Amino acid sequence: MARHYSLSFPRPSRLWWPVWRRNALVWKKLAWTSVLGNLADPLIYMLGLGYGLGALLPAVDGVPYIIFLAAGTVCASTMNTATFEALYSAFSRMHVQKTWEAILNTPARLDDVLFGELLWAATKSLLSGSAILLVLLALGLIGSPLALWVLPVIVLTGLVFAALGLIVNALAPSYDFFMYYFTLLVTPMLLLSGVFFPTSQLPPALQAVAGGLPLAHAVALARPLLQGQWPADSGTHLLALLATGTAAFWIATVLTRRRLLR
Query: Is 177's pLDDT higher than 50?
Result: yes
Query: CB-based burial of residue 8 (10 Å sphere; 0-12 exposed, 13-18 middle, 19+ buried)?
Result: exposed
Domain segments of the chain as ranges = 16-261
Q: Which amino acid is at 82?
A: A
> Cα 6–212–9 angle (5° rounding)?
15
pLDDT band at residue 2 under the 50/70/90 scheme: very low
0.85 exceeded by the pTM? yes
Q: Report the pLDDT averaged over residues 5-9.
A: 82
Specify the pLDDT at position 253: 96
Question: Which of the two residues, 115 and 6, has the higher pLDDT score?
Answer: 115
Query: Is 80's pLDDT higher than 50?
Result: yes
Check if the beta carbon of residue 111 is closer than 8 Å to that of residue 10. Answer: yes
In angstroms, the CA 64 to CA 54 distance is 7
Specify the pLDDT at position 180: 96
Q: Report the pLDDT averaged over residues 34-63.
A: 76
Neighbours of 120 (CB within 10 A): 25
